[in-house]
Amino acid sequence: MADLTSSALQQRLDGLTLPDGARVWMYTANRVLTDAECKSVQTALSAFRASWAAHGSPLRSESAILLNQVVVLAVDEEPQIATGCSIDASVAALRSLNEAAPTLADLDVLDRSWVVYKEEKDALEWKRARLHDFWAMRKAGTLTDDAQILDSTLTNLGSVRQEGVKRLADSWHAHMW
């Protein structure tokens, strides 16, 4: 079952108004962003989304930044499906986010080796670790089955809303050893 009790996480998800079936891509940044940097990233994403199209048809899309470190890009594919070229354009826009503000020069949201987690359900602090370090912590017993994982592999907005956060035991990470 989802643990979306973190008010910051829930608030950001509530800001996304596309239907549950909207396609989603989630990208974890290589570091936690400041509030000002989040605003710069969101401004850059809004500018990109204003002209984002597939075969000349505009894409109805939204974006959010969860926990100051996870960029969510969502597209309602009911009116127009995101095509290969439009997805490539989104990746190019994400790659260029480090140009949105001088303090973002080191930003990388395309490195898929980050895991965002809480050590237990009631923990207040979300942490991050490289995948190999995360698995090592699990193997060493530092993380239990009750650790909470932000699942960045989900592909539709409804899944993110309902099961975006899950117990380690219920995530794909549990099957990695």
Sheet strands (E) in the chain: 23-28, 53-54, 57-58, 60-66, 70-76, 114-118, 127-130, 148-150, 165-167
Quote the pLDDT of residue 5: 45
pLDDT digits (tens, 9 = 90+) for 103-153: 999 999 999 999 999 998 888 889 999 999 999 999 999 999 999 999 999
Quote the pLDDT of residue 11: 67
Question: Do both 58 and 25 map to the same domain?
Answer: yes
Query: How many structural domains are present in the chain?
Result: 2
Scan for tokens 């117990």, then name that residue.
167
Question: Do both 65 and 139 map to the same domain?
Answer: no
46 located within any domain: yes
Judge whether residue 177 has pLDDT over 50. yes
Question: Do both 100 and 140 map to the same domain?
Answer: no
Residue ranges making up the domain that contains 88: 18-104
Question: Do both 150 and 80 map to the same domain?
Answer: no
Bridge partners for 57 per DSSP:
54
Question: Do both 76 and 150 map to the same domain?
Answer: no
pLDDT digits (tens, 9 = 90+) for 150-167: 999 999 999 999 989 999
Quote the pLDDT of residue 2: 38
Whether the Cβ atoms of residue 101 and residue 113 lie closer than 8 Å to each other: no
pLDDT digits (tens, 9 = 90+) for 32-69: 999 999 999 999 999 999 999 999 999 999 999 999 99
Question: Do both 97 and 143 map to the same domain?
Answer: no
4 located within any domain: no
**Residue 106 structure tokens:** 């080191």
55 located within any domain: yes
Q: What is the pTM of this model?
A: 0.90
